Structure 1
Amino acid sequence: MRLCQASHITDLLLPKYVQACEKLNPGLVDRVIDEVSGEVGDALSYRYPQPWPHVPELVRYIVAAIGAYRVIGAITSLMKTEATSENEWIPIQKQWKYATELLEDIVRGRQKLPLEEAHPDREDPSVAVMSRPPLFDLRGL
């Protein structure tokens, strides 16, 4: 299941960068979308079983941000460092970092999606277990 479209990646990058990437490596954007969609889907599959009735906007953003980072990373090594203030890839680096943190929060259950959870971390709070006190005190033995 593809969790975003090429247009979502183009929204995060300038179209000329996407065109340059496609010129150097035809089909790169589609392959990256398939890769990242699979990885994100696998990461969320324990908590949110698939197929989903719709793709939440938060998941779409996560896939697009990680995908845009990988598309640019496939053609340049300049984005590996934030050492210079003239690095034009800093905004996409920050979006990638934010998206990976969001994904981790969703996987750990700190952030919720508008989907049915299969394996929530907490038990239903309406159930309480009560037991009577022990009949014999065996602490002194």
Structure 2
Amino acid sequence: MSDSYCTQTDLEDYILVAYLDKIDELNSGVVARTIEGVSAEIREACLAGGYEASMDGVESALLKRVCAVLSAWQCVGNITSLMDTEAASSNEWLPIQRQYDRAQKELTQIRSGKLDPWPSDAVTTEACVVSPQPVFGGQDFWRRY
């Protein structure tokens, strides 16, 4: 990805395309600007947590999801009032509210250095064998007999 951690298409996993279309109809380009703003916030959080702001050529599924959820939430907030409580039975925004809360917590963890946005997937093929000390003095012990 270039400067953004997600694309407008990634937002479609969290809100309907019709909402995205309506948002852009009411305020042209706001979806793209929101994605850029959230991406900048994520870069700042990574730097504050002691991580590189980007890993050239390496995508982070975590950062992509966090960016898409936060962007979707902010975009929908531009055209409708989101419910503040999860207790209402008519809350159609409950799924994205939960995703938003999770994304905010993860961003806070990244900012504090507790969650690595690029976890190491390196699998080692080496084996390390650890054994206790020999009971009878090692290889030379039995030569005496």
Q: Which runs of 5+ in 2 are unaligned?
A: 121-145
| Corresponding residue number in structure 1 for 2:68 | 64
Hey, what's the Cα distance between the residues in 2 that align with 1:56 and 1:25?
A: 30
Hey, what's the Cα distance between the residues in 1 that align with 2:117 and 2:20?
A: 30
Give the alignment of 1:104-119 within 5 angstroms. Answer: 104-114=108-118
Q: Residue 38 of structure 2: which of 24, 36, 39 is its match?
A: 36
| SS of residue matched to 1:104 | helix
Q: Which runs of 5+ in 1 are unaligned?
A: 117-141
TM-score scaled to structure 2, two decimals? 0.73
1:94 aligns with 2:98: yes
Task: Tell whether the 8 Å contact from 2:4 to 2:36 is kept in structure 1 after alignment.
Answer: yes
Structure 1 or 2, whichever has the larger Rg, is 2
- Give 1:83 deviation, angstroms: 4.5
Task: Tell whether the 8 Å contact from 2:44 to 2:53 is kept in structure 1 after alignment.
Answer: no
1:13-59: CA deviation from partner (whole Å, max 9, x where unpaired): 11111111111111111010000000111111131123421231101
1:85 aligns with 2:85: no
Q: Give the letter for the 2:73 counterpart.
A: Y
Aligned length: 116
| Corresponding residue number in structure 2 for 1:12 | 14
TM-score scaled to structure 1, two decimals? 0.74
- Give 1:110 deviation, angstroms: 2.3
| Corresponding residue number in structure 2 for 1:49 | 52
- Give 1:76 deviation, angstroms: 0.7
Q: Give the letter for the 1:52 counterpart.
A: M
Label 1:41 to 1:93 Cα distance change in 2 as closer, same or farther (>3 A). Answer: same
